[in-house]
Structure 1
Amino acid sequence: MTKLIVAKFGGSALGPNGEFIAKIIQRVDKLKTDSKVIAVFSAPLTIYNEKKRSLTDVVLEQGRNAEKGEKPSLDIVKSTYQKILEKVDENNKENCIKTIDYHLEKAQSALDEAYKNKEFANEVRSKALAFSGEILMSHVMNHILRSNNIKSEAVKFDDWPIITDKNIEFTNFLAAESRERMNKTVDLVENNEVVTIGGFIGKTVDNITTTYERGGSDRTAADLGILFHKKYETSIDFEKDSSVVSADPKIVDSDLREITQLSYNEARLAGMFGMKILDPIAIKEIVENGVDIPITITNMKVPEKITTIKRNLEEQKGHPIKIVTGKENCAIFRIETSAIQKLLTSLEKDKHYSEFVILSPFTKDGIEFSRILFLDGEYVKRNEKYLLAFDSLATITFNRGVITLIGDEMWRVQQVASRTSAKIGESGLNILNMDAQEETSRIIIVVEDTHDNIAKAIKAIHQEISNINFE
C-alpha cells in the first residue's frame, strides 16, 4: 500500500511573514521521498506593533471594529502576503498574485458585510477568516512548492473534503458526508507529490463556510487521516518548533525530559490540560471513528527529535510520570447528581463538547452533588444559561486553575499523590480539590487561578518528580 503523510504546519512553523518557509520546503521535500504528502497549513503570523500575531487575530480584530462602525482594513494581511510572495519564483508569481487578490477580495467582502450589518458572526466571520488565512495560505504555499520544483496542487474550496455540521463557528466533523465529497481530493493526491489544504475550515453539505475552534488545523489533519487511512498507509505528522518535553519550557527552564512516546490517552489529556502538543479533539475524533493512525510530533529545526503517539504503546519507557501541565481559566459546575446525566447526554449529542472532567461527588444535607471541571471558563460563560437550565440551583465557580500529572502507568510511582500535594503546600498554595485514584493516568489538583499560582505549582511538582522512585 502506498504511504501517505498528512503533515500539519502551524503559524509558528511558518514564522512571522513566512520566515521559516525555506525549512518547510526542506521538510516537505524530505517527506515526499517515499510517500504522498497532504500539507495542512494554518494562517501565517505577522509582526504588528513589534509583536508576533496570527493573521487570524488580526482579522478577528477587524471584524470587531466593523461591528463598532469602524471601517475594516486588510492592509496588515496584504503586507504579510506581499512579503511571503517574495518566495515565489517569476514563473509562478503572476498566478500567485491573482490568487492572493481573489481570496482577499472575498475576505474584504465578508468584512464589509459585517460593517454594513454591524455583526461579525456565523458565516460572515468564517469567510473572513478562511479566505484571509488558512485557505489563502495553502494556495500561496502551492505556488512556493512549485517554485521549488515540487509537483503540487491546492485543494479548491469548491472541492472541499472536510464536511461539518451546521454549528458554524464551533463546528464538528461529519465523516460519512466527508467521504462522499473527497473524490476530487483523492484525484489530487494520486496525481501529485504534494497536495496543500487549509486547516481550521470546513463547509456544510449546503456549502456554508464553517470553522473549528482555535487549534482546529490539528483537527483538519486528523480528519484527513480518518478519510484516507483505508486508501493509503497513512500517518500524521505535526511539524513544530520542538518535540514534546515534560513541561512547558516557558514555565520550567531546567531538568526538562524529552518525551519520546505517548499513548493517545496521554496525548489527549496533555492537550486538554494545557500542553500545546495537539488539539485533544483531534485525538478524540480519531478514536471515535475507530481508526488507529500513528502520529508524530517533529521538531522542524532538528527533525531527528520526534515524539511518537500511538493508540497503545508496546513498551512504556522512561519515567511513568511523563508530563506535568496546568490550565488557567477553568470553572467548576456543581449540580445535583440526579440531574447530571441529562446534562452529560446533551453536552455529547447536542453540543459535541467534551473538554471537561467529572470530579468526585460530595453529599450535603443528605443530597448528593456532582462536580464538573470545565477546562475552558469562557465556554461556560458563553453557555451559562444552557447549563443552568438543567438545574436552577446549580452553581458555577470561575477563576479556578488545574495542575495535572500525566502517565498511563503512574500507578507504578510510590507516594505520588501525597508527595505532590505536599510540594504544592510548601510552595504556599492552597489545594481546593485533589482528584486521584490508586491506578490512574492522571492526578488533578485544583487551585485558585490568581497571580502565578499555576506556574508555581508546575515548577514545584516537576522538580519533585525526579526524586520520586518508581518500580
Structure 2
Amino acid sequence: MKQVIVSKFGGTSMGDAQCMLRSAEVAFKQDSCVVVVSATSGTTNDLIALGKTAEKQSWKEAEILLTKIRDRHLKIAEDLKLNPTSSAELRNLFDEMESLAKGINLLKDCSVKAMDTLQSLGERMSSVLCTEAMNTVLRNNKSSKQAVLFDVRDVLRTDDAFSKARPITAEVERLCTEKLSFVKQGKHVAVTQGFIGKTADGMTTTLGRGGSDYSAAILAEGIHADILEIWTDVAGIATTDPRICPKAKPIAEISFTETSELATFGAKVLHPATLLPAMRKNIPVFVGSSFDAEARGTWVRREVKDHPLIRAMAMRKKQILVTISTPEMLHAHGFLFQIFKVFNDHKVSIDAITTSEISVSVTLDDSTLMNTKLIEDLSKFADVQVEENLCLISLIGNNINHTAGLAKQIFDKIGNINVRMICLGASKHNFCFLVNEDQAVETIQRLHAGFIENH
C-alpha cells in the first residue's frame, strides 16, 4: 500500500525559482502527498517590518517594503512562467497586503491580529509559486499527478491566541478527514502553507516563529501520515552546530525524546513543538537537505538502536537568570505555588530551575525583561535579582542522571569556565548549566572535543 508522506520545505528551500524547482523535484522523488512550504527566505521578516513601518512611519517608507516583497515574488513568478490563474491569485495577495498595510498606516495601530494576517501572506504567496514549480516537475517527469493549491486554514483550526496560536487537535483531525483525504487517492499533490491557521470564526492566526515545522507535523497527524519529512538547508541533525565545531558529526538516527530536548535547548534544526504530533501518532520524522537530497540525513524515531551517553549538545543564547529569595520560604509551604502562579499569569515559560532553602533560581529568555510587570509582581513578596548575558549549555544523551562520574568529566573539560547554575536529575536525557555568553562557544568546543570528537 502506498505510503502517505508529508514533506515540509523551509524558507531557504523556497529562496528562488531554482530552489523551488529543486524542492519540487525532491517532493516528486519522495512521492509526497502533501507539500508544506514556508515563506520565501527573508519574507516573514520583511512583512513584520512592513507592519511596524506602516504603524510608526509614513506611507512612503512602507511602500518601499511593499515594492521589495512584490518584486521578489514577481521575479520568481517570471522565472517559473507562472500561469494566468496563479498570476491573478498572486496579485490578489499583493492587493491584500497593500490594503492591510494601508489600514495599519491609517489607524497607526498594528494589532497582533493584524500582524498575523499580514505575516500569513508570506506562506500564501510562496505556496502559489511552489504549486507552479511542482506542476512543472510533474510534467517534466511525465507524471499523471497534478499539484493543487490547498489553503491550510481550511483544516488547521486553532484557538484565538494570535501570534502563538495553539491547534485544536480533534478539530484538525476531523477537518483533515473531511477536506484533505483526497491526497491518499494518488492523483493529486496538495501544496499548502506552514505556520498559519484559522479560528472557528474565520480569523487568520500564526503558530509563532518556526511554526512551519509544527504545522507540518499537525497535518501529518491529521491525515494519519506514515512519514513526516522536514527539508531544510542542512543535511540532518548534527552532534552540535557545525559553524561552531567543524568536526560536528551527522547523526543517522535519534530518538523522539533526545530530539525534543535538543530542540528545546537551542538546536535550530527543528521547532521544539514539532515532534509532539509525530510522537502522539508514532510517525517517523526524516530531516534532510533539499540542496543535497542524496545525503544521509537523520531519522527521528520512538525506538533507536544505539543509546550513547552523550549524543549531542546545544546552546541557548540570550538567557537570563532570575533568583527569587526570601527568608519566609524557609520551611514554609505554598511559596513555590506563589512563584509559579506569577509566571503562569504572565504566560512565561521557564527553561531550568534550581532551589535552595530560601531562594529559587530560574532561567528565562532575555525577551522576558520586556515584561516589567512580571518582575514587579515577583518583587511584591520576595527579593528579585536578575543576571543577564548568559547561555544555557545542554548535553543530550541517555541515562545521564544514573551515570557515575559524568559531572566530574564535564567540569574537568571546561576547567576555568565559571558555571552559574546546574540543572540535573529531572531528565535522564539532559544535563544543562549556565555560563557567561562570551564563554559559550568555547564551552561547547571543549565538550564536543572531549565527548564526541575523541570517541
Q: TM-score, normalised on structure 2?
A: 0.87
| CA gap 1:215/1:438 in 2 versus in 1, 3 angstroms | closer
Q: Deviation per CA, 1:362-381, whole angstroms, max 9, x where unpaired?
A: 12xxx3x333322x221x23
The corresponding residue for 2:51 is 63
The corresponding residue for 1:422 is 412
| Structure 1: distance between partners of 2:57 and 2:39 | 26
| CA gap 1:100/1:111 in 2 versus in 1, 3 angstroms | same
1:81 is aligned, of 67, 73, 80, to 73
Query: SS of the counterpart of 1:312?
Result: coil
| CA gap 1:348/1:222 in 2 versus in 1, 3 angstroms | farther
Is the Cα contact below 8 Å between 1:271 and 1:280 reproduced in 2? yes
| Structure 1: distance between partners of 2:76 and 2:30 | 22
| CA gap 1:302/1:453 in 2 versus in 1, 3 angstroms | same
Give the AA of the match of 1:266. Answer: E
Structure 2 portions without partners, runs of 5+? 140-144
| CA gap 1:64/1:278 in 2 versus in 1, 3 angstroms | same
Query: SS of the counterpart of 2:274?
Result: helix
| CA gap 1:411/1:187 in 2 versus in 1, 3 angstroms | same
Give the AA of the match of 2:154. Answer: W
Is the Cα contact below 8 Å between 2:400 and 2:431 reproduced in 1? no
Query: SS of the counterpart of 1:238?
Result: strand
2:212 is aligned, of 205, 209, 217, to 217
The corresponding residue for 2:439 is 453
**Correspondences of 1:289-438 after superposition (within 5 Å):** 290-300=280-290, 301-313=292-304, 315-316=305-306, 319-335=308-324, 338-341=334-337, 344=340, 351=347, 356-363=350-357, 367=358, 369-374=359-364, 376-378=365-367, 380-386=368-374, 389=377, 392=380, 393=382, 395=384, 396-410=386-400, 415-426=405-416, 429-437=417-425
The corresponding residue for 1:442 is 430
The corresponding residue for 1:205 is 200
1:40 positional shift: 0.8
Is the Cα contact below 8 Å between 2:148 and 2:191 reproduced in 1? yes
1:383 positional shift: 4.0
| Structure 1: distance between partners of 2:207 and 2:426 | 37
1:107 positional shift: 1.6
| CA gap 1:188/1:312 in 2 versus in 1, 3 angstroms | closer
The percent identity for this pair of structures is: 21
Give me the CA root mean square deviation. 2.6
| CA gap 1:386/1:4 in 2 versus in 1, 3 angstroms | farther
| CA gap 1:446/1:96 in 2 versus in 1, 3 angstroms | same
Q: Deviation per CA, 1:176-226, whole angstroms, max 9, x where unpaired?
A: 222343322223554643111111111111111111111000111111112
| CA gap 1:409/1:304 in 2 versus in 1, 3 angstroms | farther
Is the Cα contact below 8 Å between 1:270 and 1:277 reproduced in 2? no
Is the Cα contact below 8 Å between 1:264 and 1:309 reproduced in 2? yes
**Correspondences of 1:125-136 after superposition (within 5 Å):** 125-131=115-121, 133-136=122-125
Higher mean C-alpha displacement, 133-142 vs 460-469: 460-469
1:294 positional shift: 0.6
The corresponding residue for 1:51 is none
Is the Cα contact below 8 Å between 1:327 and 1:454 reproduced in 2? no
| CA gap 1:341/1:412 in 2 versus in 1, 3 angstroms | closer
Structure 1 portions without partners, runs of 5+? 46-53
| Structure 2: distance between partners of 1:251 and 1:61 | 30
| CA gap 1:169/1:11 in 2 versus in 1, 3 angstroms | same
1:264 positional shift: 1.2
| CA gap 1:467/1:208 in 2 versus in 1, 3 angstroms | closer
| Structure 1: distance between partners of 2:339 and 2:186 | 48
| CA gap 1:340/1:162 in 2 versus in 1, 3 angstroms | farther
1:96 is aligned, of 69, 86, 91, to 86
Q: Do residues 184 (structure 1) and 179 (structure 2) align? A: yes
Q: Deviation per CA, 1:340-398, whole angstroms, max 9, x where unpaired?
A: 346657867994x75x33423112xxx3x333322x221x2344424753662262433
2:448 is aligned, of 462, 465, 471, to 462
1:285 positional shift: 4.5
| Structure 1: distance between partners of 2:94 and 2:366 | 34
1:305 positional shift: 0.9
Is the Cα contact below 8 Å between 2:310 and 2:396 reproduced in 1? yes
| Structure 2: distance between partners of 1:407 and 1:23 | 35
Is the Cα contact below 8 Å between 2:317 and 2:391 reproduced in 1? yes
| Structure 1: distance between partners of 2:342 and 2:226 | 34
Q: Deviation per CA, 1:277-308, whole angstroms, max 9, x where unpaired?
A: 21111223544xx3211111113304341211
Q: TM-score, normalised on structure 1?
A: 0.84
Is the Cα contact below 8 Å between 1:113 and 1:124 reproduced in 2? no
| CA gap 1:224/1:421 in 2 versus in 1, 3 angstroms | same
| CA gap 1:342/1:224 in 2 versus in 1, 3 angstroms | farther
Is the Cα contact below 8 Å between 1:263 and 1:309 reproduced in 2? yes
Higher mean C-alpha displacement, 120-129 vs 298-307: 298-307
The corresponding residue for 1:243 is 236
Q: Which of the pair is proportionally richer in helix? A: 2
Give the AA of the match of 1:113. Answer: G
Query: SS of the counterpart of 2:33?
Result: strand
| Structure 2: distance between partners of 1:438 and 1:85 | 51
Query: SS of the counterpart of 2:281?
Result: coil
The corresponding residue for 1:23 is 22
Give the paired residue count.
433
Higher mean C-alpha displacement, 458-467 vs 412-421: 412-421
The corresponding residue for 2:189 is 194
Higher mean C-alpha displacement, 217-226 vs 159-168: 159-168
Give the AA of the match of 1:41. Answer: V
| CA gap 1:389/1:239 in 2 versus in 1, 3 angstroms | same
Is the Cα contact below 8 Å between 1:162 and 1:203 reproduced in 2? yes
Is the Cα contact below 8 Å between 2:352 and 2:423 reproduced in 1? no
Higher mean C-alpha displacement, 459-468 vs 256-265: 459-468
**Structure 1 stretches of at least 4 aligned residues deviating more than 6 Å after TM superposition:** 345-350
